Structure formats: structure tokens, C-alpha cells
């Protein structure tokens, strides 16, 4: 089952990031954002996007052309998975420590914001990736090809955004942060080109 392969890929990525960035940076620069106010803003944004994802799934489920397509389950699964991830991201944003004595949250607050940011980017990109099978399902293959390349740029930008947040808000090294997009794309390519062929069931 593909869920097993995805979990294995995540575990390998996490282990590699931990190994690369085991030793933290000695000096941290000043934060570039007011995390307390930023977290509140992002909670509303991510919650709205989550609502849009589930509303899109409900709308697509009502289309006759969608329910008879072999890509129907793929589109619905991606949108609903994105909804769950985005709701989880909103909950992390909402529960990020924001008490007045900021010194007590020097570590917990940035880490919470980075986790929420990673979940938010993952949920948003997953909902956008559903556009390609959706366009195929609607009989628009040429437009789907165009969006494939546009979404590749989105994936690169999102991974770079996550790496930037991790670098500025944590003590992670430059190598560890750069490894986030590299491992993200590398492990996905390895899973698609090697793992899926050797173990089709996974």
C-alpha cells in the first residue's frame, strides 16, 4: 500500500535530516518575524484554505463526469488529505506559545511555528497538486501539462520557504536546511523511479 511507502520515505528523510544537522549552530540571528502575531494571522489563512479544500471535494463529488472517472479517488483523496493537514497546521498555529514573557518560549515558540509552517506548506501544495489529475479528469490534458510545470515551481518554492523558516527560527545548520528541499525531491524521485517498480504493492 502506498501509505507504507510514504511513511518509510518520511522516516528516511527525518533520519537523514537529523544526521546532517545533529550539531546546532552556535550563534542565532535575531528573529525576522513577530511569531505571536504572525501565528494568529496564519491560523485564519490556513483555516480558510482548509475550508476551500473540503468545499472543492464536495463540489467535485457532485459532478457526474467526476464520479465515473478512474481519477476520482485520486483527486478526492488529495483534497481530503490536504484538508486534514491544513486543519492540523491551523491547530499548531493556534497553540503556539505567546505568553508575554517571551524568554520562556525562546525554543518552543519558533519550533512550533516551523512545524505549523511545514504542515501548512504541505497541505497547500497537496491541494494544488490535485489540480493536475482534476484537469485530466475533466478532459483537459494540455492544460494539465501546463499546470504540471507550474506546480513543479510551486513545490520548489514551498520547499525553499520551509528551509528559510527553519534556518531563521531554529539553530539548524545551513546544510540541514538545504537538505530539506534536496531530500524532499530526491526521496520522492527514488520512491517513484525505484521503489514503485521494485515493490509495486508499496
| pLDDT tens readout for residues 59-113 | 888 888 788 888 888 899 899 999 999 999 988 888 877 766 655 556 778 888 8
Cell digits for 147?
499546470
For the segment 33-50, the average pLDDT, to the nearest whole number, is 79
Q: How far apart are the C-alpha atoms of 15 and 94, rounded to whole Å?
A: 28
**Which residue has 489563512 as its cell numbers?**
45
- pLDDT number for residue 93: 85
**Which residue has 504542515 as its cell numbers?**
119
pLDDT band at 30 (very low <50, low <70, confident <90, very high): low
Q: How far apart are the C-alpha atoms of 202 and 196, rounded to whole Å?
A: 7
- pLDDT number for residue 115: 87
Give φ, ψ of 21 to 5 degrees: -105, 35
Cell digits for 66?
467526476
- pLDDT number for residue 82: 92
C-alpha distances in angstroms, 103 versus 94, 97, 98?
A: 19, 11, 11
* Cα 42-156-83 angle, rounded to 5 deg: 40
Q: How far apart are the C-alpha atoms of 108 and 105, rounded to whole Å?
A: 5
- If one compares 201 and 42, the residue with the highest pLDDT of the two is 42
Boundaries of every domain in the chain: 30-198
Beta carbons of 165 and 186 less than 8 angstroms apart:
no
Per-residue pLDDT tens for 120-175? 888 998 899 999 999 998 888 899 999 999 998 888 888 888 888 888 888 888 88
- pLDDT number for residue 201: 58
* Radius of gyration from C-alpha coordinates of the chain: 19
The pTM for the full model equals 0.82
- If one compares 29 and 96, the residue with the highest pLDDT of the two is 96
For the segment 20-49, the average pLDDT, to the nearest whole number, is 77
Whether residue 26 has pLDDT greater than 60:
yes
Amino acid at each position: 500500500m502506498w501509505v507504507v511507502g510514504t511513511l518509510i520515505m518520511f522516516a528516511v528523510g527525518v533520519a537523514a535530516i537529523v544526521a546532517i544537522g545533529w550539531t546546532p549552530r552556535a550563534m542565532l540571528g535575531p528573529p525576522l518575524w513577530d511569531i505571536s502575531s504572525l501565528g494568529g494571522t496564519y491560523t485564519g489563512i490556513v483555516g480558510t484554505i482548509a475550508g476551500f479544500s473540503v468545499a472543492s471535494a464536495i463540489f467535485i463529488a457532485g459532478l457526474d463526469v467526476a464520479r465515473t472517472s478512474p481519477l476520482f479517488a485520486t483527486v478526492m483523496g488529495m483534497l481530503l488529505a490536504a484538508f486534514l493537514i491544513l486543519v492540523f497546521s491551523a491547530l499548531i498555529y493556534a497553540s503556539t506559545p505567546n505568553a508575554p514573557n517571551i524568554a520562556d518560549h525562546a525554543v518552543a515558540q519558533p519550533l512550533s511555528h516551523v512545524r505549523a509552517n511545514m504542515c501548512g506548506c504541505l497541505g497547500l501544495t497537496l491541494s494544488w497538486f490535485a489540480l493536475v489529475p482534476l484537469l485530466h479528469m475533466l478532459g483537459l490534458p494540455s492544460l494539465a501539462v501546463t499546470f504540471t510545470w507550474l506546480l513543479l515551481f510551486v513545490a520548489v518554492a514551498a520547499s525553499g520557504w520551509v528551509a528559510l523558516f527553519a534556518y531563521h527560527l531554529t539553530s539548524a545548520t545551513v546544510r540541514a536546511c538545504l537538505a530539506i528541499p534536496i531530500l524532499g525531491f530526491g526521496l520522492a524521485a527514488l520512491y517513484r523511479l525505484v521503489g514503485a517498480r521494485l515493490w509495486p504493492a508499496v
